[in-house]
Amino acid sequence: IIDARTLRRIGARNIFDALRLVPGIVVANVIGSRSFAAHHTITDPFGARMQVFVDGHSLYTALTSNQSMVGLRDLAVEDVERIEVLRGSNSAAYGANAYLGVINIVTRHSSDTQGTQLSARLGSDNIQDLFVQRGWGDMG
């Protein structure tokens, strides 16, 4: 499990930076700054052999027989509570696409945010990130 504290500590800018911590997961940059991740035994990005979830919802797309990386690229790392990684075949519990393992990205609940949060990062290679979030906590 990679928790939010670890994500902040390593300075992860996106989900792909976090997945670099997982042994057996290869993260590569292709087509400019676009990243993709794959299990070290396969060449397609989280193909039909590894199941990826965000809050329990599968990113698998039957149209392309692949995991949709678009959802991972757009997910702010500041919104992630934890990343759970299950190794080995989990097909019985998570379906046929979980042959090599399962990655479940759990996001923070909206009620966990109270007030305004602002974070900014500047770095080499023209890295500039700004994240602003406003929450009212539990309104229920």
C-alpha span between 32 and 133 (Å, rounded): 28
Domains and CATH numbers, the chain: 2-108 (2.170.130.10), 112-140 (no CATH)
pLDDT for the residue 67: 60
Q: From 54, 36, 53, select the one nearest 44 (Cα to Cα).
A: 36
| pTM, two decimal places | 0.73
Average pLDDT over residues 39-59: 72
Average pLDDT over residues 58-87: 76
Average pLDDT over residues 11-39: 76
Helices marked H in 39-95: 70-73, 91-94
Average pLDDT over residues 112-140: 68
Average pLDDT over residues 44-63: 74
Q: Mapping DSSP to helix (H, G, I), strand (E, B) and coil, where does residue 131 land?
A: strand
